[in-house]
Amino acid sequence: MNPRLSMCRVLLIACAIGSSLLAAPAGADFGQTSTAPINIAARDAIDLSGEWRYIVDPLKTGVVRADSSRYSVFRDMAGPENPIDFFEYNFDAAPRMMIPGDWNGQDASLTWYDGLVWFRRTLELAEVPDSRQLLHIGAANYKALVYVNGEKVGEHEGGFTPFAFDVTDKLVTGRNSIVIGVDSEHGNNSVPTPVVDWKNYGGITRPVHLVSLPDTYVHDYFIRLGSDGRLIADVRLGGEEVDGHIVKVTVPELGVELRGESDKSGNASFTIDSPDRLQRWSPASPKLYEVIVATDEDEVADRIGFRTISVEGSDILLNGDRIFLRGISIHEEAIGATPSRAINVERARELLSIAKQDLNANFVRLAHYPHTPAMTRMADELGLLVWSEIPVYWDIDFGNADTLVLAKKMQHENIIRDRNRASIMFWSVGNETPQTEERLAFLGELIDDVRRLDDTRLVTAALHNVRSEGGVRVVDDPLGALLDVVAVNTYQGWYGGMSLERVPSVQWRNPSGKPFVYSEFGAGALYGFQDPDREKFSEDFQVAYYEATIEMVKKAPDLAGVSPWILKDFLSPRRMNWKYQEYWNRKGLISPEGNKKAAFSVLRDWYDEIALQGDDR
């Protein structure tokens, strides 16, 4: 049997064990939940960002030979007692890289590396804090093995969502060793599989914090307007004794103060009529309120916007008014010739300001995985509606029960983390998935879960199975019946042989009558390549493509919005054409460095036109 296979099986079992280390809050009722308390930035925490030492472990020896002190990297031993002996690893002499950050952009030898890398950081503690200590990791792509002072504290699978482990009894006075092994390798039953059209940035891509919490703490909360416009607050406590704690939710600017007691599962819920002077959040006026969630021991402050989202026939309504989604798709990749996956507040503002201010967009599709909180919070601030998605991308193993458990966990982690973000309008359960019974059952379960976790947003998915009937494109994928909004990816005139001249006359039919969104369309262009004959990959072709496609889209039935593919050229291992691509997907409207291609203004002009018509709030 292939040892690597047995090692994978070991990892999966460890995953299941690991996550039970941090007792999920008593209120958790869906069998598995996010281990990570939310809104870490507002908590009392040590930010462990900075230089970490790293050891590349191509054969995963540190896992396979975990029983041997010679190879067990995670023990982070200085060396064997016997001075003439030695270990096969040594962190103190190892190179350093910045965390958060992907390894691909920081070590040229790892540009395309998929595998295991061990990261170590030491932490000096004058004394062990007497409060609960959680080690919180914003995200690590793809599997993470976490050790404190040589002891395993947990495992996590999934590259784009947060997780945390209780390390209270692992810390010591003086030097503490934190070792995180990150394996970026994906398998056939991972989510996604290895075959994706984006760069698989490996590493600890979002911040790591050591969070101090009282014994009983605010784990997560969900504060929003219900579909009837009433103000609802659900708070869930974490820790052991969660029963009978005073729970308060205040919105000082509105004079709202809700007070109650947690029940035996640590939950407290409140519903009141919204104060008349509550100003609704919208892209045009992204009003956020300070909200404080407190117990007798803990307090967390957040900035939350209040709005309602609903569907009426083929219209999407925001705060009861019809809205047209002037969107753009975005990958989580910073602007620059050698981009990074690690997006901080400044980089998020840079990307989203181009969408908001320069393109006049009111909507962004954050593809194809949960982006960093810096992006969704920036969308709250700037006033951009958001499509949030988990990486159920193309052909994952829909028939595999473990894969379903994994996808559900990723979705839970994403929704728990971000359901207080006013900007998020859509939870998407997948992109371009095959039309099979297994897939329908799989996504059906995910959709049920979304609706249980959040009944205030719309559920969707990016479809691509389009039937042709007499030349008319018919979108009747059975998955559409389970969605609130039907979205389709289409590349007429780019992939396949259709000429641009024919594109405007392509007709669409949407039997569901639900709101219809083009979640993707686009064409490649190499910035600076001009060709009046419109060779593909020229800016001229991209301009003509957008003009033709916008003509086609305008005639579509029930059209509620678009999110063309894509704002910025992005790296992808599938783009091997050295004449135009050099591993860049060139469908961006801006180049890797942020230069606007000619087609950028074609889309902007259309959005200006729509905004002038005023069906935008």
CB of 429 to ligand GCU, least distance (A): 14
The full DSSP string for 272-337 is EPPPTTPPPP-SSS---EEEEEEESS-EEEEEE----EEEETTEEEETTEE--EEEEEEES--SSS
Nearest to 54 by CA among 179, 200, 160: 179
Compute the least distance from the CB of residue 586 to ligand GCU, in Å: 9
What are the phi and psi torsion angles at 445 (to 5°)? -65, -40
Cβ 489 to ligand GCU shortest distance, Å: 4
Q: Which CB sits closer to ligand GCU, 403 or 572?
A: 572
Q: How many CB atoms lie within 10 A of CB 75?
A: 17
Q: Which is nearer to ligand GCU, 138 or 564 (CB)?
A: 564
| 205 near ligand GCU, rule: CB under 6 A | no
For the record, the structure tokens of 600 come out as 């950028």
Across the chain, which distance is largest between two alpha carbons, in Å? 81
Q: Does 197 bind ligand GCU (CB under 6 A)?
A: yes
616 binds ligand GCU (CB under 6 A): no
Please report how the helices 401-418 and 373-382 are oriented relative to each other, as an axis angle in degrees rounded to 10.
40
Nearest CA to 102 among 120, 119, 124?
119
520 near ligand GCU, judged by CB under 6 A = yes
**Subset of residues 409 to 428 that bind ligand GCU, contact rule: CB under 6 A:** none
> Among residues 238 and 524, whose Cβ is nearest to ligand GCU?
524
Q: CB of 588: closest distance to ligand GCU in angstroms?
A: 10
Considering only residues 432, 477, 539, 616, which one is a binding residue for ligand GCU as defined by CB under 6 A? 432
User: In the set 201, 565, 606, 607, which binds ligand GCU (CB under 6 A)?
Assistant: 565
Number of residues that bind ligand GCU (CB under 6 A): 9
Out of 587, 589, 591, 602, the residue judged to bind ligand GCU by CB under 6 A = 587
Mark 128-167 with x for binding to ligand GCU (rule: CB under 6 A) and - for no binding: ----------------------------------------
Cβ–Cβ < 8 Å for 327, 384: no
**362 contributes a contact to ligand GCU by CB under 6 A:** no
**Alpha-carbon distance 76 to 62, whole Å?**
11
Beta-sheet strands, E only, within 126-198 = 132-137, 143-148, 151-157, 163-166, 174-183
Among candidate residues 529, 516, 537, 408, the one with its CA nearest the CA of residue 463: 516
CB of 333 to ligand GCU, least distance (A): 12
Nearest distance from C-beta of residue 584 to ligand GCU, angstroms? 11
Give yes or no for residue 489 binding ligand GCU (CB under 6 A).
yes
Please list every residue from 289 through 318 that binds ligand GCU, using CB under 6 A: none
CB of 434 to ligand GCU, least distance (A): 13
Cα separation, 466 vs 474, in Å, equals 6
Please give the residue whose beta carbon sits closest to ligand GCU in the complex.
197
Contact flag: residue 369 with ligand GCU (CB under 6 A): no
Query: Which structure tokens are listed for 123?
Result: 């932490």
Separation of CA 320 from chain center: 28
By CB under 6 A, name the binding residues for ligand GCU: 197, 368, 431-432, 489, 520, 565, 585, 587
